[in-house]
Structure 1
Amino acid sequence: MLTNRSALALLAAWALSALASPIEPLVVQDSNHHLATNNICLDTKSDPPLELITPEVYLDDGIVVGFQKGATDNFLGIPFAEPPTGQRRLRRPEPFPPYEGIYYAQKFGKSCPQQQLTLPNGLNSQLIHDIGNVVGKLYDGITPDDEDCLTINVVRPAGTRPGTKLPVVVWIFGGGFEIGGAATYNGGVIVSRSIELGEPFIFVSMNHRLSAFGFLPGKEVKEAKVGNLGLQDQRLALKWVQTYISEFGGDPSKVTIWGESSGAISVALHMLANKGNQEGLFRGAIMQSGGPIPVGDIENGQRYYDFMVERTGCRGSNNTLECLRRIPYNTFKHAMDESPNFFAYQGLVLAWVPRVDGVFLTEPPQHAVLRGHVSNVPLITGNCDDEGSLFSISTMNVSTTADLKDYLKLYMMPTAKDEEIDLLLKYYPDDQRAGCPFDTGLKNALSAQYKRTAALQGDFVFHGPRRFFLKHRADKQNSWAFIWKRAKSTPVLGTTHATDLINSILTPGELMDYVIHFTSNLNPNSKKGLGIPWPQWNRRDPKAIVLQDSTLFPVVIGNDNYRTDPLDYVANMSLIYPI
């Protein structure tokens, strides 16, 4: 069973694994996001380094001043859109006007408003308080938020000049579409590694709107054509890359989009948007723990729009959407914080998630895959073995099969027939040895149905969409798959969601090398760096690289055919009953 101390340590470790140390600026940035016309001014309150290098890039009629750190030039917090505040709240992003004057791009911009994380009442109040403090302090310290948040960051090899035409990778952070920011990931680590491998590239990351600010659902939103604003922010940032990355030395025709969790889901949805026409915005895609999630029409989330209207006092307004734009920021934010987050009882049936809005997404993602409305670009996609464990700690009061059936009927498949759910539960038997964390026998039984629920949640949202995507697309576009199985011995959580980040973007590892090779050559294989030859995935003989806990064989080639029948059934249920 999970003790207070071990639960706190595990949750804190998970939170830390999702946060990299931000780059420290060498020069103080102006407090606002707009271009300054004053001369460069060093921070005289601290001792500057002996040799301070401030690289400059010309954008339009402006100069963007960055800083050099180690082997990289860094340009942080560049605005790419007008601030989505005031009457721009809950509207599609508008491009930032042509740059003028001098802009000090030496500090990350503030992240978009974060939804407050709360833990379920099933854990004792002191544990909730402790974990809340840990997570809260991490995100407040590293990703302070503000409604004026749409900024982009560029990290390149030091001294890169316009015309160099380096490949570009654009990173989209994860966080359940509720939390996170570009400042949590230090692009300097992977750029430095790309230089070491002789395959230098440029790293780009951006902020986008989250939760109710970025993914408000409802018929009012659909009628106003302002759904999926967080995805619209990302798309505008990709267009910014096409316009300006050549000035940093990048090649706009060699862009790979890369994300983890909700960032990976975003990558998949960019591949499906515009009926698969990527408009020249990218040539490759990398998805860590995310794919074409089973979501339906934006009106399926009407109750969350109504919740915001009720909690903000907009119920009596003649135009509730306009009311939500006009109310004070704190009023909007407080109401959003009271809505369910991914640690709520409903788990991964998220309140704030991309849905079919008729503009960015015109059909359910899995339907788009079946119809071939997919960007025909090479891709990498993979999962952590125990994706659902972290998000199932809230279900400890689900103690019987009858309870689990009620849970599924209430949240995951409210319109499914009883016999369909009964068949689903036969694929996920009431046997701790078959549950998640997988391959751990009778261990990690946080509650009677915890491992079973974790298996279901992980397969519906992560494993199922990945396998579905590959089965229908790998014969049409070059595809590589991976399975992350390290840290399997972690109590309760196993190889849980986001643990692969340590190997791909936070510190150098096999996955990081594969990402670098793929970004450079649209193939993860190379004679340089870590790892072993990685075969393409194909339906007849599905193979994946498996990164496991082993000193002798840390990376092996394995069969990607685990839970074939359950995952096929999950995919069919998702097609019929999207969230």
Structure 2
Amino acid sequence: MMFKISSLLALLSLVYAAPQIKVGKTTLVGRDITGLKQDFFGGIPFAEPPLGNLRLKPPVLKPHLDVETFDASNFGKGCLQAGNVPMAFSEDCLTINVFRPSGLKSNAKLPVLFWTYGGGFDAGMSSLYNGSTIVAQSVARGTPLIYVNFNYRLGPLGFPQGQEADNRGALNLALKDQIAALEWVQKNICEFGGDKKKVTVFGESAGAIMTAVLFLNSPIEKLARAAIFESGSAATALEFKAARREVDWQNFVAGVPSCASLSLSGNTFDCLKRANSTEVHSGVINALTKAPEAFGFDPTIDGPDGLFPDIASRLLKRGHFARLPFIAGTNLDEGTIFTATTNLSSADIRASIIESYSPPLVDPAVLQQSADKLLQLYPDDPAVGSPFNTGTQTFGLPSSFKRGAALMGDLSFQSQRRSWIQTASRAGVKTFGYLFTQPQPNDNPAIGVSHSSEVLFVYGAPKDTSASAMHLSSIMIDYWVSFATSLDPNDGRGNARPHWAQYTPENEVLLQLNGDNTTLIPDDYRKKQIDFINSDPTVFHHRRSLRMP
């Protein structure tokens, strides 16, 4: 899902032609991507380094730098996370990057595509995403735009858990990083030739979830005019208060040597602010290694004045969400990569459902009855499981794997996308939906058209280089760019491509994205199952992965 840009930049750039931009009193010296006639400006701080007394606090916006010149020729380091290259990570990571067509004047007023990466809220970095193909195609089709991405804090530093974090108002810091980056765009993108009134936010997985959460109770309507959600809705994330994951915070603190003795004290922040970054990184790794579930650090409910004041379904029901146009879609087999390959008996799956949605927001008996109903609706029949459309093949796995994967995908992704787009369209919001079904011949066939498999197509670099895949990638970029520049994916420019009908209460249709058959389809797959999941959203206050025993 991710790929590096540094080698491409090195091959295509000419140092002597380095572009320059004045932002405030600072001259940013970028890099010329000569072969593509683009300018790159990277590693620009958009907030003060979140170190020392600023650790575990909301970001402090840094609209301008306090130096005369700044080397913006490369990306900054990623935020602290697990990985084999610790030198690639730093706490001083809140940086932003801009790709633009070369030679723009500051009054060009080009639309902006603003990307938030995924990675389970505990991994990822902006340097892994190369926006140059998107920008190049936008220019070639006569609708040039600017691409922006950024880094946000991850794991316990981005999504602190536990009652102490709640008491100190230190929740959802990564969401606040995202807002700060958007505020930086509002203040500065005009200097790059962008139009601050034409920002489209887009992201995948955790990035889409974060963006969707911002639709609930943030100033997003002042920061963007549209969005694209790839495989993620607000209700895809864990919807509990931070206290539920006390153990994750304790594991983090226990991994910070100078603070380990305080891990169970409920009074850890002061010590953590005094720790050095090496110690803190050890704590991050300890927390991720010992997390009792796949994703230990998600957005959390943060109260009436917070960014995530209540479970999403309640807010949507009340009409409490931003009225911005959007595209929302999913991939055919969202659940496969999150599904265990063992412990998949009916009893195991039932137990995992109950544990995952506990403590319940409904009577425990209702949750138990709902788990039983799900097992009826999703039988242990590989012919109807995920990866879908693969008949009775089991790929050497237990037949119940396909059952678990179908359940996982529908509970966490498909039902949420459908609920979100139906609610918004019924409120009069301009929406478009998709289902990505392009086969992935280079991947394990057991995962099918899996979660995140569309990302490389959006970035113009699918692993499959067949004519079908490359054509689909090109028209997907056209749809995305068209929407970002005109709020309609059907601007008639670029590749000839099927008309993408708006999703409305009278016409609930999706665009199937498939290189051999891109066409409109009704949004009614597994209707009985998904209708049941969405019939009482408080039962399934949704998780990204079921806990398997």
TM over 0.5: yes
Output the CA distance in 2 between the equivalents of 1:203 and 1:307.
Answer: 38
**1:253: Cα distance to partner?**
0.5
**1:159: Cα distance to partner?**
0.3
Corresponding residue to 1:406 among 351, 360, 363: 351
Output the CA distance in 1 between the equivalents of 2:502 and 2:335.
Answer: 26
* Alignment of structure 1 residues 485-524 onto 2, 5 Å: 485-487=437-439, 490-507=444-461, 508-524=473-489
Tell me what 2:117 maps to. Answer: 173
Corresponding residue to 2:134 among 190, 200, 212: 190
Output the CA distance in 2 between the equivalents of 1:335 and 1:20.
Answer: 27
**1:324: Cα distance to partner?**
2.7
Q: 1:324 to 1:289 in 2, by over 3 A?
A: same
**1:425: Cα distance to partner?**
1.4
Tell me what 1:396 maps to. Answer: 341
Work out whether residues 81 and 284 of structure 2, in 8 Å CA contact, stay in contact via their aligned partners in 1: no
Output the CA distance in 1 between the equivalents of 2:333 and 2:133.
Answer: 27
Output the CA distance in 1 between the equivalents of 2:402 and 2:175.
Answer: 33
Deviations 1:194-237 (A, max 9, x none): 00010000111000001111011222111111111111001000
**1:396: Cα distance to partner?**
2.2
Tell me what 1:566 maps to. Answer: 529
Q: 1:48 to 1:513 in 2, by over 3 A?
A: closer
* 2:5 is aligned with 1:21: yes
TM-score, length of structure 2 as denominator length: 0.88
Output the CA distance in 2 between the equivalents of 1:506 and 1:337.
Answer: 33
Corresponding residue to 1:61 among 15, 18, 25: 25
Output the CA distance in 1 between the equivalents of 2:523 and 2:264.
Answer: 54
The one-letter code of the counterpart of 1:63 is: T
Tell me what 1:158 maps to. Answer: 102
Work out whether residues 152 and 237 of structure 1, in 8 Å CA contact, stay in contact via their aligned partners in 2: yes
Tell me what 1:289 maps to. Answer: 231
Output the CA distance in 1 between the equivalents of 2:288 and 2:398.
Answer: 22
Output the CA distance in 1 between the equivalents of 2:161 and 2:292.
Answer: 20
Output the CA distance in 1 between the equivalents of 2:382 and 2:267.
Answer: 51
Output the CA distance in 2 between the equivalents of 1:200 and 1:96.
Answer: 28
Question: Match of 1:409, SS?
Answer: helix
Tell me what 1:450 maps to. Answer: 401
Tell me what 1:464 maps to. Answer: 415
Output the CA distance in 1 between the equivalents of 2:9 and 2:400.
Answer: 48
* Alignment of structure 1 residues 66-215 onto 2, 5 Å: 66-69=30-33, 70-96=36-62, 98-99=64-65, 100-116=67-83, 136=84, 140=85, 144-215=88-159
Q: 1:411 to 1:105 in 2, by over 3 A?
A: same
CA-atom RMSD in angstroms: 2.4
Corresponding residue to 2:275 among 320, 327, 344: 327
Tell me what 2:286 maps to. Answer: 338
Tell me what 2:469 maps to. Answer: none
Work out whether residues 398 and 448 of structure 1, in 8 Å CA contact, stay in contact via their aligned partners in 2: no
The one-letter code of the counterpart of 1:465 is: Q
Output the CA distance in 2 between the equivalents of 1:522 and 1:97.
Answer: 28
Output the CA distance in 1 between the equivalents of 2:388 and 2:288.
Answer: 27
Query: Which runs of 5 or more structure 2 residues have no equivalent in the other structure?
Result: 462-472, 544-549
**1:465: Cα distance to partner?**
1.1
Of stretches 555-564 and 103-112 in structure 1, the one that deviates more from structure 2 is: 555-564
**1:155: Cα distance to partner?**
0.8
**1:331: Cα distance to partner?**
3.3
The one-letter code of the counterpart of 1:424 is: L
Q: 1:115 to 1:460 in 2, by over 3 A?
A: farther
Tell me what 1:12 maps to. Answer: none
Work out whether residues 63 and 184 of structure 2, in 8 Å CA contact, stay in contact via their aligned partners in 1: no
Work out whether residues 483 and 545 of structure 1, in 8 Å CA contact, stay in contact via their aligned partners in 2: yes
Work out whether residues 208 and 230 of structure 1, in 8 Å CA contact, stay in contact via their aligned partners in 2: yes
Tell me what 1:123 maps to. Answer: none
Work out whether residues 25 and 106 of structure 1, in 8 Å CA contact, stay in contact via their aligned partners in 2: no
Identity between Structure 1 and Structure 2 (%): 31
Question: Match of 1:52, SS?
Answer: helix
Tell me what 2:263 maps to. Answer: 315
Tell me what 1:437 maps to. Answer: 387
Corresponding residue to 1:219 among 163, 173, 197: 163
TM-score, length of structure 1 as denominator length: 0.83
* 2:386 is aligned with 1:386: no
Work out whether residues 336 and 448 of structure 2, in 8 Å CA contact, stay in contact via their aligned partners in 1: yes
Output the CA distance in 1 between the equivalents of 2:398 and 2:174.
Answer: 36
Work out whether residues 357 and 539 of structure 2, in 8 Å CA contact, stay in contact via their aligned partners in 1: no
The one-letter code of the counterpart of 1:112 is: C
Work out whether residues 166 and 242 of structure 2, in 8 Å CA contact, stay in contact via their aligned partners in 1: yes
**1:325: Cα distance to partner?**
2.6
Tell me what 1:362 maps to. Answer: 309
**1:523: Cα distance to partner?**
0.5
Q: Give the paired residue count.
A: 510
Output the CA distance in 1 between the equivalents of 2:265 and 2:274.
Answer: 11
Tell me what 2:506 maps to. Answer: 540
Work out whether residues 60 and 98 of structure 1, in 8 Å CA contact, stay in contact via their aligned partners in 2: yes
Work out whether residues 96 and 149 of structure 2, in 8 Å CA contact, stay in contact via their aligned partners in 1: yes
Q: 1:577 to 1:491 in 2, by over 3 A?
A: closer
Deviations 1:7-34 (A, max 9, x none): xxxxxxxxxx32243465569xxxxxxx
Output the CA distance in 1 between the equivalents of 2:171 and 2:391.
Answer: 44
Output the CA distance in 1 between the equivalents of 2:448 and 2:112.
Answer: 33
**1:81: Cα distance to partner?**
0.6
Output the CA distance in 1 between the equivalents of 2:412 and 2:369.
Answer: 22
Question: Match of 1:308, SS?
Answer: helix
Work out whether residues 171 and 302 of structure 2, in 8 Å CA contact, stay in contact via their aligned partners in 1: yes
Tell me what 1:576 maps to. Answer: 539
Question: Match of 2:222, SS?
Answer: coil
